[in-house]
Amino acid sequence: MTGSPSYYRVMSGQKSVYSDEGRRGGWIGGGWKFDFDLDRHLTDDWRDFNAAMKPIFLKNNPDKSKVAAGLACGMLWTICKGISDGDIILTPDGAGAYHVGKAVGRYFYHEGHDLPHRRRVEWLDMKVDRSAMSEGLRNSTGSVGTVSNITKHGDEVERLIRGEDRPTIISTDDTVEDPGVFALEQHLEHFLVMNWQQTELGRHYDIFEEDGELVGQQFPTDTGPIDILAISKDRRELLVVELKKGRASDAVVGQIQRYMGYVLDELTSDNQTVRGAIIALHDDNRLKRALRVTSNIDFYRYQVSFRLTKDERQ
């Protein structure tokens, strides 16, 4: 492997029940009811893999949606092909910490197991405690789904592996102009998700769910993760939400349009449409100009409030 490694959180089965088995055996794995060797299907482009595997997934899981099929096939490709030798793997141990390892081998098929599609991993003799992580890294490692790409937190992961203290403020968004503002707003996405039903968007849309779990937060696409993927209450329109901590400029329009194009091509069913929403603290004139000629993207401002209340003692 050349260049810097990528970093992934990988669950070993539901609630990581196979974490210890995988560590003893030196592997990570996935399942999703694909009970055959995938070697000849593992194309270099995950989109080709998804196109071939999604019909099989939907046939084996007729109660699942196209969103669930896309997620499952994408995560399976990542485990089997997308993760490269030398990439760093974090796997929850089920007790508040993460095993740490390095991918060291290509895909192999282990027939008869719940997680038959595997990669070799060289596990380190150490763990990373969840309580030592920044809020941003905790949110990324705690996201719904078997695989989560946490490369944007790679520097922090390396510091944790070396046993170093993390810095007080960690900003992983190049659009953040003021680290002090970022420190106040870094919980924006989590807060929005937790309070979705009380927002203007929550009146008309629900964050996408599968089997009672939110899968619409940090939804993976071929051009990066969508911050929030939602669907209208009448199920006719999918909503792509892009959050910007601070000021948003016209570059975000192209970004959200790429996400919307992916959703339209890969996730919508007949007669469903796609809409976009940009949420930021401020906009600028370039963004205003760009949005004037787009009819299916809306802009929302958020407000951060900080208040001290004196305790009136008797």
Write the single-letter amino acid at 120. Answer: R
Class of domain 7-161 (CATH, top level): alpha beta
What residue spans in the chain does CATH classification 3.10.590 cover?
7-161
Bridge-based pairing of strands 237-247 and 209-210 is: unpaired
Residue 170 has pLDDT above 50, yes or no: no
- CATH domain 179-301 topology: Trna Endonuclease; Chain: A, domain 1 (3.40.1350)
Sequence letter at residue 104 = V
Amino acid (one-letter) located at 159: R
Task: Report which of 262, 209, 197, 266 is spatially closest to residue 235, judged by C-alpha positions.
Answer: 209
The Cβ-side half-sphere exposure at 118, using a 13 Å CA radius, reads 22
Structure tokens at 225: 């993760």
Q: Where in the chain is the domain with CATH 3.40.1350.10?
A: 179-301
Q: Tens digit of pLDDT for each residue in 69-89?
A: 888 898 899 999 999 999 999
Other beta carbons within 10 angstroms of residue 206's beta carbon come to 17
- Report pLDDT digits (tens) over 178-233: 444 444 445 678 788 888 998 999 999 999 987 677 788 888 887 788 999 999 99
Read off the pLDDT band of 137 (50, 70, 90): confident
Q: Where does the pLDDT of residue 275 fall: very low under 50, low under 70, confident under 90, or very high at 90 and above?
A: very high
46 has pLDDT over 60: yes
* pLDDT recorded at residue 183: 47
